[in-house]
Structure 1
Amino acid sequence: EGYEYGVTTGRRRRCGWFDGPIANYASCVNGLTDIAVTKLDVLSAFDTIKVCVAYDVDGERYTSVPEHQVRFEHAKPIYEELPGWKCDITGCRSFDELPQEAQGYVAFIEDLAHTRVTFIGVGAGREQIINRFWK
């Protein structure tokens, strides 16, 4: 639905749910202060939206990336489901215009990543971006 194809190869991209532990790890090691969430409009089709909040490795729960690659290799994602918004958000131009469920999703991933979501893509058009903090 979101035209997830590689620009160079033309191959379909694998798409998955937001991975909180990976986002938090990336934020920490790269010193991120802000992130962008693109294609939020594509999630409008779902009744519920899954978010990876932890990993299960041999019965042990990890809320961060396991410290050893061998353990991470066998990690299974643990998902939480959030309510979907089931409406067209492509006309939204401010965070306040988004449905409460979409705002809750953004707040939830901010908490997991420990980084604020500054830019939110709500459509394919250049003007279909919400800029929350940079003015």
Structure 2
Amino acid sequence: MPDLEPLDPSFPIGRQMDIDASPIVLVNLCTMAPEDEAAFLEAWAGDAAFMKSQPGFISTQLHRALGDSPMYLNYAVFESAAAWRAAFKHPGFKEKVKAHPASMVARPHLFQKVAVPNLCTA
């Protein structure tokens, strides 16, 4: 089972869960011991398949850090914070998380798109 640490200690994921927003992006920075990368990838695939089956799921993507660092960045898009919250708290997901290697540390945080004139839309 992975450790959970806040990406922003002043506003951890537990405080973000109660905010209603739509759509949302979950960003999760994951680290682990180098020898646990294969186990992490297998567990992540199981997590992603589970989330893909949940109402409100839109997409996910996993990225690996360049070089020798066993660091991964995952982002997942959901229709709403409520949809993500329901999937995250689902007993089936809680079982899936147990498959992650003990050396894994997850640092999740929720975000919303921001509109910047002439560059991007919200």
TM-score (norm 2): 0.23
Higher relative contact order (Cα pairs below 8 Å, separated by 6+ residues)? 2
Rg comparison, structure with higher value: 1
TM-score (norm 1): 0.22
